[in-house]
Structure 1
Amino acid sequence: MQKTLKRLTGAAFLLYLLILAYILFFRGRGNVYMRQMPLAEYMTYAVNLVPFETIRGFWNAFQNDRIQTDIAMLNIFGNIALFIPFGFFLPAARRLRALWKCLAVSFFAILSAEGAQLLFRVGSFDIDDIILNLLGVLIGYAAFKAVFPIYKSMKKA
């Protein structure tokens, strides 16, 4: 049972990572004009290093009826939801049970993904995305900690 559960957890994590990569890098990403732009010029449009600027912009646009609710909610809550499984599977599959280890690995993975999106011009490098993604990791980690005693007892069976 223990080996089967470990394999299932690993397979589910791998499947999640493949879906995540598809969403981050391939699903409806980038327009042709922006992708042909020199990286330095693209960066002027696609980099936000000011914490909460994008979130505040979505919130203000939402309050002033300048943006549809679903667009603002998808951006904010989508960035959170996308990384909840990461926060759950990482400590389950890789034995990164300490919060700081899970957050450190998650931070570098998210930072790498944001950098790759910028480099390949299929998205932006936004500090708000990193903040929201890490919030998702924390929620997933909390869920893992809540079910870990059950998971542990199943592994022993």
Structure 2
Amino acid sequence: MSKSFIRVMLWALIISYSLCLLYWMFIGFGRVRHVGAPLSYNLIPLETIILYVRHHNEISTSTWLINLFGNVGVFVPFGLFIPVLRKCLRSYIRLAMLFVPCIIVLELSQMILRVGSLDVDDVILNLLGVWIGYFIINRFL
């Protein structure tokens, strides 16, 4: 297979995955728009993470796993593929400079549309996922 074919396939994969992620974040998993509900947000770093860790016995395992590990896992593919596709993004800092604003826009959108909340801990966990993906691929680049 040629390098250009592989690049096209990787772009198609990351674009398809991004569309699936948008679906999951705004429509999937039984999300309901809470019309008239107050805006939901957390701007205190690590507050939600600590809450889930401290009260893991009181929170369902699926909720705990999805909120902590799911927020990390769903962003790992971006750390794996984006640095391969864009050489200028082969740095933890450059990836953060790209993804932090994107994640914040997604979080703000969830809050404004009332299909979720803006949580700074989600930004932290999502970025951690990007960095884990980059760490993995960095070993092979």
Q: Are the aligned partners of 1:13 and 1:93 in contact in 2 as well (CA < 8 Å)? A: no
TM-superposed deviation, 1:47:
0.4
TM-superposed deviation, 1:17:
0.5
TM-superposed deviation, 1:79:
0.3
Q: Which is greater in Rg?
A: 1
Equivalent AA in structure 1 for residue 62 of structure 2: D
Do structure 1's residue 116 and structure 2's residue 109 form an aligned pair? yes
Please say which of residues 19-28 and 66-75 is displaced more in the overlay.
66-75
Which structure shows the bigger proportion of residues in helix conformation?
A: 1
Question: Please, what TM-score do these two structures have when normalized by structure 2?
Answer: 0.91
Provide the rounded CA distance (Å) in 1 between the counterparts of 2:94 and 2:54.
Answer: 35
- 1:155 aligned residue: none
Do structure 1's residue 58 and structure 2's residue 71 form an aligned pair? no
- 1:29 aligned residue: 31
Unmatched tracts of structure 1, length 5 or more: 149-157
Count of residue correspondences: 138
Unmatched tracts of structure 2, length 5 or more: none
Q: Are the aligned partners of 1:88 and 1:143 in contact in 2 as well (CA < 8 Å)? A: yes
Provide the rounded CA distance (Å) in 2 between the counterparts of 1:12 and 1:146.
Answer: 21
Provide the rounded CA distance (Å) in 1 between the counterparts of 2:82 and 2:102.
Answer: 11
- 2:41 aligned residue: 47
Provide the rounded CA distance (Å) in 2 between the counterparts of 1:86 and 1:9.
Answer: 11
RMSD: 1.4
Provide the rounded CA distance (Å) in 2 between the counterparts of 1:57 and 1:98.
Answer: 31
Give the secondary-structure state (helix, strand or coil) at the position aligned to 2:121: helix
TM-superposed deviation, 1:18:
0.9
Equivalent AA in structure 2 for residue 137 of structure 1: V
TM-superposed deviation, 1:98:
2.5
- 2:83 aligned residue: 91
Give me the identity figure in percent: 36
Give the secondary-structure state (helix, strand or coil) at the position aligned to 1:30: coil
